[in-house]
Structure 1
Amino acid sequence: MANEQTLERIEAKTYRVQGLTCANCAAKFERNVKALPGVKEAKVNFGAAKLTVWGEATLEELEQAGAFERLKIREARERTIQREPFWKKKENRNVLVSAVLLLIGIVADAADSAGMAVAMYLAAIALGGYSLFWTGLRNLARWQLDMNTLMTIAILGAAAIGEWQEGAVVVILFAISEALERYSMDRARRSIVSLLEMAPAQATIRRGAEEVTVPVEDVRLGEVMIVKPGAKIPLDGVVVNGASTVNEAAMTGESVPSEKTVGDAVFAGTLNGEGFLEVKVTKRADETMLAKMIDLVEEAQAERAPSQAFIDRFARYYTPFIMIVALLIAVIPPLVVGGNWLDWVYRGLAVLVIGCPCALVISTPVAIVTALGHAARRGVLIKGGGYLEQIGRLRAVAFDKTGTLTEGKPSVTDVVVYDESRERLLGVAAAIEKRSQHPLASAVVRQAKEEGVPFLDVPVDEFQSLTGQGVRAVVGNETYYIGRPSLLAEVLGRLPDEAEQRIATFRQEGKTVMAIGTARRLLGLIAAADRPRPSAAPTVAALRRLGVKEIAMVTGDHKQTAQAIGRQAGVSAMCAGLLPEQKLAAIRELKQRYGITAMVGDGVNDAPALAAADIGVAMGGAGTDAALETADVVLMADDLRQLPYTVRLGRRTLAIIKQNIAFALGLKALALVAAIPGWLTLWLAVFADMGATLLVTFNSMRLLRVKEEGDGQ
């Protein structure tokens, strides 16, 4: 196996795989591809049905590696998904012919034509089960015990003791069960693969004086796309001309269209409204936000959830255990109590059939893949089944304040001047804050613009950000400080009593206060307010109803301001005045006291706290690469209401996984009890196994009904 450093120097190529139905088949296919001469390494993602190859291999070689399961390989970005009609599939046609042969055999049996009947049953077994026998016998020779091995032994055993009719029925029912399993996994995967079809395959580009339509793969960065009213946007870009509303539901799950004008970002796969747009392309086809979403979700499907890893380990011991139990049932009674050999061998074969682990193995991945795909289509990216399960066990949530519980767009409410004119104070403050990225800095700049204060030409030198405190800069040979009142108190020794009283009053009103001054005097105070999001209080209430024990706010803002916002949002604990390392400590304390904890922030700031939490949740991932890379869960629409939906989805997924495992094992236990006294026939055993597979599949599909509050559930 090539090491990681070697692989980094080799170009990786990704393919989609059709026909991949079981984890064991995926592992075998991966081994076969690795054995190809030009391949250095290969990785199969069973959940997403994808193959990544490091090295050189043709499509023909890859399909040959998957010939044991008749796998079809195609390019990863191929848009049209080839879905062969059910009746055109060779294996399904074989099952149909086998069923006809079985019926003829039953008729021959009824007419006392035993030879004809046996010939028809034998033909049905051979035609419907030849691929099963080929795989099962080969696995048995290598002592690889799986469901194909169990079924092969059972069917051949039935034929050996003269149960030809039952052997044929078992072959046909097992083939139908396999078809259902393929259908269920394809259905679960389809929600992600269909995202590929959301973005148009072609784009209209202005080149010179002409407008030409070209494949999106041929569009160059910086070219201008023409997006007509009612058309889908082919690639990510920035509007350079025109105005319109754009429905971004495909990206964010938000159905209310967004207003777009010159300078605004637009994304591939979103729907233009009634306006005409000219868009400068900023991302290639394989780098768009939609492409990143698809890649992230498919990578998430490759991550094994704890319950899935447990089932995989369990299945490794379960199959040999079933074979031993079946052997003991077939042998012990005849040897010990003189039972009829044919009767007890038949019962042992029934145990082999009912022991087939199909439903058990599929119980977890079909639920995880369904949930991840459904969440992605609603604008929530969850980066793995493990995080989905952790969300289902969530006990505490910590919210950042600015831009998370609040709208993140504070505006100046009060300007108090002590030793300057208002215009001079705002001018200096805006000139300095123009160089800062903090939301409060933007509020000061906006206020100066609204009042017509000239500040763009004010010379600013030696600008320095003081982490968690404010900023410092030189204007006209004088050093100015803007930031927390504590910063000016430290610089000046203390603040005037009147200023302290003003600051206290502002904070009680829920306003954030900035002080501005020099090393010699306090020049003034600027108060700003950031309104809570309308969705903040309903979100906190919904989380409480879902059983989240502790909901806290962690912020660098002053305690009184934080308390005012916290009261309006309804959080139960407020940790204010925190530096980044103190936020990290607060998250660790929440984890220690309550267990699994989520941190909700913007995905750019508070990176240590997001990393320390069991689940880092980033707000507003649409257009934010940092959010996609930093967080475990990304709320693409910048909408807090997606958080309770995600917790509800996690809890429902956990419940359904447990139900699926209980269904699969419970049904098998009942059938096993019925098989020992001889109440269960071979074909009923297969029918019970097929029923368990159907139960876990349809139960998992219930995850498609999980909705946000207010959506009707």
Structure 2
Amino acid sequence: MEKALEQNKNTYRLRNLSCTSCAAKFEKNIRDIETVKDVQLNFGASKLTIYGDASIEQLEEAGSFDGIKVYSETQRSLEVKTPFLKKAENRNTLASLFFLIFGYISMYYIGEDSFATIVIFAMSILIGGFDLFKVGLRNLTNLQFDMKTLMTIAIIGAAIIGEWSEGAVVVFLFALSEALESYSMDKARQSIRSLMEIAPKVALIRRGNKELELDVEEIQLNDILIIKPGEKLAMDGIVIKGHSTINQAAITGESIPVLKAVGDEVFAGTLNEEGALEVRVTKRVEDTTISKIIHLVEEAQAEKAPSQAFVDRFAKYYTPAILLVALFISILPPLFMNGDWSEWVYRGLAVLVVGCPCALVISTPVAIVTAIGNAAKKGVLIKGGIHLEETGRLKAIAFDKTGTLTYGKPKVTDIKVLNGMNEKQLLGISMAIEKFSQHPLASAIIKEAEAQGININDFIAEEFTSITGKGAKAKVNNVTYYIGSPNLFNVLQDIPSSITKNIEYLQSQGKTVMLLGTKTELMGIVAVADQVRESSSKVIRKLHALGIKQTIMLTGDNESTGKAIGIQLGLDEIKAELLPQDKLEAIKAMKNQYGRVAMVGDGVNDAPALASATVGIAMGGAGTDTALETADVALMADDLDKLPFAIDLSRKTLGVIKQNVAFALGLKLLALILIVPGWLTLWLAIFADMGATLIVIANSLRLLKIKS
């Protein structure tokens, strides 16, 4: 059944989706189409997914109440910049304002109750509120009580009791607030739209002897992209010719361009700076890293955060409660306390207006949409509101060592020659033996020998034998040499105490020591260390400054190496010589002690620990499908620099959400208190509602300004 639904799945992008209540109604209308099996509407991303059959005409008919336009996901140039005065709703709002001003002039010179004044205010109400009434009256007949229903009842009620001027002011302010809300939501969604516009839609490719300019949808795997200086890459691929620096800020958030040469991976949407490149395409357009980022960001914005789920549940009961309160205020005082009907109905209508839940409903999603979009633009992929909120509440962070706090690429740091052999001989013999090994330490020795210009043909190893867990042996120039750990040579011979002290000193610095020698004689010492990232200690300091209570390193490396690196970085705790299951247990213990814990790793290794942590944070998500799919948060660049930014942004988002809810409810509560002395007018009620909505949106948009 699920497979059949997937086969009949269509995705569309939307324009003019203005509010959450409109989105809910649009979704309900689509569900009523007989041929539609299921529907998912992503308000934050303005994206619609349909399971079943429905034409674009049917979908637009379902959204006609709000002027919603529907486009195929693959269709280009969806966003048409329409001038302010060319939008019908904005022209109607201005016309409403004109008649409103004209009405007050008439009221001043002719009188409030004159026929001409009433007609002018009525024109203001009808022109400014035509779309509102169309939806509100239809909702009223269907007993659907949303914001527009409440506003329609209030304005019609105001006209019935003769408050024409108040009704006209309410209509104008409501129309103005709708226009401003639509503009602000569009601003929040711009972060996704800018991601979609990063990669070019056409590219120059070579097939055989022909050069063709093709749409990206037509480009096939293994096509050759021709990238000129100053051009953006349209597809992911591998460089097969040329070298150049590539600005990868759009994907990884790195501000410094990266040198790319033959064999290096490059991404769609990145900018080629000075050199010409030829790139073999390795992914189709829908599978490129930028496409996956866009998809995951949109899915993240659709996923409700815990605070949003709470607000939605609250709003579900809040609106009917406001209707009942307004009804009781309107009828109880006149019936039981000899109150004036006109006065109390007016107060009830004011309650309806001020009680609109618009600001409350939008308080969380607009903040989540803005924060996730801002993070994505800066190279941090947060895969949902729940992960954003949990990141903001973290108390402790655990780090894998290799490839996270360090580069994961061991390098030779010390070479000490013994017994008359020179350094080049020592490295040459070591290289000859280690070229048969797959161990990371072997690659460090080979790289160092190559860097010193040692010719691999000058040293030929024969009869190579691996000694499991300790090292290897081989014949070089007819002499059998051993290379490996001090434990290997402890078995072969007695190591002099002076050399043992040297070994212990190097190990205390976090270095791995290898010895080279024959069965009876030591020839030299080679120390190798995984290089600590320059940014790691700065990141740890920033995390402590942000209030993270505990930073801990979980590593499978030996105790002395782990301690040396941990002390160098300023970590609170170091746990070494751990197997994957030990790391999992360590995370569980931290959760018991601190509550919310993050695990930072490469997204491939230590999967149990990443999955068990409150938030799993993967390093180097760009181009790594596993990291993008498994982590809750992915740092797209292979660098920790973005981690403090992600936590700071998440915490500020939590603060903004709390402020938004407080603003939304606080302003309404204050307005409702004004009912007691009778100070709450209709125009003041709509002003309070509009003010709350605009404060909530403006406050959320501040999250766009948070920098890494």
TM-score by length of 1: 0.90
Q: CA deviation at 1:537?
A: 1.0
Change over 3 Å in CA distance of 1:483–1:652 after alignment to 2: farther
Q: Which residue of 2 aligns with 1:621?
A: 621
AA aligned opposite 2:209: A
d(CA) in 2 for partners of 1:470, 1:325: 80
Change over 3 Å in CA distance of 1:326–1:676 after alignment to 2: farther
Q: Which residue of 2 aligns with 1:87?
A: 85
* Local SS of the residue matching 1:675: coil
- Could you tell me whether the CA contact under 8 Å between 1:79 and 1:196 is conserved in 2? no
AA aligned opposite 1:60: E
Matching residue within 28, 53, 59 for 2:56? 59
Q: Which residue of 1 aligns with 2:433?
A: 428
Q: CA deviation at 1:474?
A: 12
d(CA) in 2 for partners of 1:312, 1:456: 72
Give matches, 1:598-617, under 5 Å.
598-617=598-617
- Could you tell me whether the CA contact under 8 Å between 1:184 and 1:366 is conserved in 2? no
Q: CA deviation at 1:36?
A: 2.8
Give matches, 1:448-463, under 5 Å.
449-450=450-451, 451-453=454-456
Give matches, 1:224-243, under 5 Å.
224-243=224-243
Per-residue Cα deviation, 1:12-50 (whole angstroms, up to 9, x for no partner):
222111111222322222232233344332211111110
Matching residue within 103, 106, 130 for 2:104? 106
- Could you tell me whether the CA contact under 8 Å between 2:430 and 2:445 is conserved in 1? no
- Could you tell me whether the CA contact under 8 Å between 1:539 and 1:644 is conserved in 2? yes
d(CA) in 2 for partners of 1:671, 1:591: 44
The root-mean-square deviation of aligned C-alpha atoms, in Å, is 3.2
AA aligned opposite 2:444: A
- Could you tell me whether the CA contact under 8 Å between 1:395 and 1:548 is conserved in 2? yes
Matching residue within 49, 54, 57 for 2:46? 49
Q: Which residue of 1 aligns with 2:447?
A: 446
Q: CA deviation at 1:655?
A: 0.7
d(CA) in 2 for partners of 1:353, 1:456: 88
Q: Which residue of 1 aligns with 2:328?
A: 328
- Could you tell me whether the CA contact under 8 Å between 1:20 and 1:26 is conserved in 2? yes
Q: Which residue of 2 aligns with 1:179?
A: 179
Q: Which residue of 2 aligns with 1:343?
A: 343
Greater CA drift, 225-234 or 296-305 = 225-234
Change over 3 Å in CA distance of 1:218–1:165 after alignment to 2: same
Greater CA drift, 48-57 or 73-82 = 73-82
Give matches, 1:535-614, under 5 Å.
535-614=535-614
Q: Which residue of 1 aligns with 2:261?
A: 261
Query: What 5-or-longer segments of structure 1 have no aligned partner?
Result: 709-713
Q: Which residue of 2 aligns with 1:26?
A: 23
Greater CA drift, 446-455 or 138-147 = 446-455
Q: Which residue of 2 aligns with 1:135?
A: 135
d(CA) in 1 for partners of 2:475, 2:317: 74
Give matches, 1:92-491, under 5 Å.
92-110=90-108, 111-112=110-111, 114-413=114-413, 426-433=431-438, 439-447=440-448, 449-450=450-451, 451-453=454-456
d(CA) in 2 for partners of 1:141, 1:352: 18
d(CA) in 2 for partners of 1:334, 1:447: 94
Q: CA deviation at 1:279?
A: 1.4
- Could you tell me whether the CA contact under 8 Å between 1:540 and 1:551 is conserved in 2? yes
Q: CA deviation at 1:168?
A: 1.7
Change over 3 Å in CA distance of 1:411–1:388 after alignment to 2: same
* Local SS of the residue matching 1:553: strand
d(CA) in 1 for partners of 2:150, 2:225: 58
Greater CA drift, 665-674 or 68-77 = 68-77
Per-residue Cα deviation, 1:385-423 (whole angstroms, up to 9, x for no partner):
111111111100111111111122211345799999955
d(CA) in 2 for partners of 1:56, 1:667: 45
d(CA) in 2 for partners of 1:53, 1:493: 71
Q: CA deviation at 1:515?
A: 8.2
- Could you tell me whether the CA contact under 8 Å between 1:473 and 1:481 is conserved in 2? yes
Give matches, 1:486-497, under 5 Å.
none
Aligned residues: percent identity? Answer: 54
d(CA) in 1 for partners of 2:471, 2:45: 48
d(CA) in 1 for partners of 2:470, 2:623: 28
Change over 3 Å in CA distance of 1:577–1:148 after alignment to 2: same
d(CA) in 2 for partners of 1:286, 1:143: 43
Per-residue Cα deviation, 1:437-463 (whole angstroms, up to 9, x for no partner):
xx44532443465544469997889x9
d(CA) in 1 for partners of 2:160, 2:515: 92
AA aligned opposite 1:199: A
Per-residue Cα deviation, 1:89-120 (whole angstroms, up to 9, x for no partner):
22222222222233333333332472122222
* Local SS of the residue matching 1:254: coil
- Could you tell me whether the CA contact under 8 Å between 1:432 and 1:473 is conserved in 2? no
Q: CA deviation at 1:87?
A: 1.8
AA aligned opposite 2:142: R
Change over 3 Å in CA distance of 1:43–1:602 after alignment to 2: same
**2:14 corresponds to 1:17:** yes
Q: Which residue of 1 aligns with 2:65?
A: 68
Matching residue within 31, 36, 53 for 1:39? 36
d(CA) in 1 for partners of 2:393, 2:122: 53
Per-residue Cα deviation, 1:325-353 (whole angstroms, up to 9, x for no partner):
11222222222321211111111111111
* Local SS of the residue matching 2:532: coil
AA aligned opposite 1:625: D
* Local SS of the residue matching 1:145: coil
Greater CA drift, 442-451 or 591-600 = 442-451
d(CA) in 2 for partners of 1:440, 1:50: 50
* Local SS of the residue matching 2:197: helix
Query: What 5-or-longer segments of structure 2 have no aligned partner?
Result: none
Q: CA deviation at 1:79?
A: 3.7
d(CA) in 2 for partners of 1:440, 1:632: 32
AA aligned opposite 1:589: A
- Could you tell me whether the CA contact under 8 Å between 2:509 and 2:561 is conserved in 1? yes
Q: Which residue of 1 aligns with 2:661?
A: 661
Per-residue Cα deviation, 1:480-529 (whole angstroms, up to 9, x for no partner):
9998878x69x97999796976653332021034689999x999986311
* Local SS of the residue matching 1:350: helix
d(CA) in 1 for partners of 2:90, 2:200: 34
Greater CA drift, 681-690 or 135-144 = 135-144
Q: CA deviation at 1:217?
A: 1.4
- Could you tell me whether the CA contact under 8 Å between 2:553 and 2:574 is conserved in 1? yes
d(CA) in 2 for partners of 1:603, 1:516: 36
Q: CA deviation at 1:354?
A: 0.6
- Could you tell me whether the CA contact under 8 Å between 1:532 and 1:568 is conserved in 2? no
Change over 3 Å in CA distance of 1:482–1:146 after alignment to 2: farther
d(CA) in 2 for partners of 1:278, 1:512: 40
Q: CA deviation at 1:316?
A: 0.6
Q: Which residue of 2 aligns with 1:527?
A: 527
AA aligned opposite 1:619: M
How many pairs align?
A: 692
Change over 3 Å in CA distance of 1:449–1:678 after alignment to 2: same
* Local SS of the residue matching 2:505: helix
- Could you tell me whether the CA contact under 8 Å between 1:15 and 1:74 is conserved in 2? yes
d(CA) in 1 for partners of 2:128, 2:89: 8
d(CA) in 1 for partners of 2:38, 2:517: 62
* Local SS of the residue matching 1:409: strand
Q: Which residue of 2 aligns with 1:711?
A: none
Change over 3 Å in CA distance of 1:403–1:157 after alignment to 2: same
Q: CA deviation at 1:567?
A: 1.2
Change over 3 Å in CA distance of 1:706–1:432 after alignment to 2: same
Change over 3 Å in CA distance of 1:518–1:136 after alignment to 2: farther
